[in-house]
Amino acid sequence: DLSLLQQKIERLELLLSNNNRLVATLRDTLIQRKASWEKGRGANGSSGSARQLPGCRLAEEIKEGTDEVQLLDVYDLLPFDNPDGGAWKQGFDIRYQGNEWDEQPLEVFLVPHSHNDPGWLKTFDRYYEDQTKHILDNMLIKLSEDSRRKMIWAEISYFSKWWNGINEQKREAVKRLVGAGQLEIVTGGWVMADEANSHYFAMLDQLMEGHQWIQRHLGVKPITGWAVDPFGHSPSMAYLLKGAGLSHMVIQRVHYAIKKHFSQQRTLEFLWRQSWDSSPRSDITCHMMPFYSYDVPHTCGPNPAVCCQFDFHRLPGGRVFCPWRIPPQPITEQNVQERALLLLDQYRQKSRLFRSPVLMVPLGDDFRFVEASEWDAQFTNYQKLFDYFDQHPELHVKARFGTLSDYFSALSRRVAAGTTLPTVRGDFFTYADRDDHYWSGYFTSRPFYKRLDRMLEATLRATEILFSLTLAEMRRLHGDGRLAAGFPAREHFGRLTAGRRSLALFQHHDAVAGTARDHVVVDYGNR
């Protein structure tokens, strides 16, 4: 009926008008309060009452020295322009003398990784069958061949599926690799969760589901976080990771202007503290990757055309190539010196962005290390470069394969020896990877599925509470703690676990965000 449609349109227009007035009022109020704070008069009487509460302090008032970074202040300071920085397009020219490492040699940890999206261009199951299964199969073989080889893994949704399909002998081999420090489980969540749309309950749910699986099957607890693909980073996630027992974390997708500023100030390694906390209780050591992406061309140093030459998966004859048209070369006795010095130059330039001579260099990309040939190409060629560094102590560099724990342990030793890390408060939203390409559409895209997420979350929580109460009552009826006969506790718990894992899977940064392909989103919904 057209008249009914007209009424609905008029109502929407009225609501929109009211919303615009509300936003304008909030904006004007914030401007007035900010002006009064800057003049030192305080906002109003309510802020005075807040000051009287023990431990309650405005973030604006918390100043513990010159080495504190308030991100709101940084956002006000930066012009958010994008001048051409040369080889490092979004940065600047990095210079060094060459003798900076004479007293303290450069420590380089090359961290192999493979970012496995639990759904994006393909569904979760299709990715597993086509790629992830082969990555983990080869991981077990190739890490076992040489104790110097290492790798990190983040997505427990995939790892648990693979675990269910391997025999006991292979499971014991995995445990040995974990125990020896060759394989590190990082973050330990069911997925690498989105940090903007996810409710904190769902963020915790996927974290607990992953950690409980790890504890049950591997007997370890993750201590380092790895979030290289969520589109912006929240201090709430840092707070949850700290509460879950993690002490260090790595982030990547931060606005390029913020990365440049942090690089200039050498604050890429910092203590991330909650804005409301006046003590270091909530601190978690955080490493912000300085360059455009987490792939090999953007991790060894500021020049992607050079770094791409050290991605040996792109050797001539393969399916992947360097867009800068300078391919990698296999490392031989004839070229090892030239290749090693070229790579060392990038390592040294990158290290000048940090306060300590400890450098973390990721080696990987999306769904890397699928084929055994890539494992061989990467590990064999890099080991030749590392051996050359070891044979030439005058270069003052020690490079090796490592995990995040290896890197953060070395950084902690430097901090204990006198290196200071700044404290940072605030969040890293909204993300932009270039120019004014702000990644804000995913805050509201696919609203049906975002609503479905919240409905499942609420239903799951209510069902968990009901199950717990029922379980307690079934034990009480017996009087000795045993369950009443006939109560199918295991079956009910299995259904709850399936629901938790479906909710956890949807917290993936391409799922609740709405950035996956249509058929993938439908697959999430069907689950």
The residues that are catalytic are 229
Q: How far is CA 481 from the centre of its chain?
A: 43
Query: How far separated are the first and last CA of the chain, in Å rounded?
Result: 36
3-state secondary structure of 307: helix
Which amino acid type is present at position 52? Q
- What gap in Å lies between CA 407 and CA 320, rounded to an integer? 29
**Long-range contact set of residues 455-461: C-beta below 8 Å, sequence gap at least 24:** 456/499, 456/502, 456/503, 456/506, 457/199, 457/201, 457/202, 457/205, 457/503, 460/205, 460/496, 460/499, 460/500, 460/503, 461/201
- What gap in Å lies between CA 6 and CA 9, rounded to an integer? 5
CB 292, CB 270: distance < 8 Å: no
Query: DSSP labels for 89-128?
Result: TTS------S-TTSSSPEEEEEEEEEE--SSSSS-HHHHI
Q: What DSSP element (H or E) covers 70?
A: strand 68-70
Query: DSSP labels for 349-378?
Result: HHHTTSSSSEEEEEEEEET---SHHHHHHH
- What gap in Å lies between CA 266 and CA 302, rounded to an integer? 15
Instruction: Give the start-end residues of each E strand in 382-473.
Output: 397-401, 423-425
Task: Report the 10 Å Cβ neighbour count for 429.
Answer: 18
Distances (CA, A) of 244 to 99, 126, 239, 285: 42, 31, 9, 14
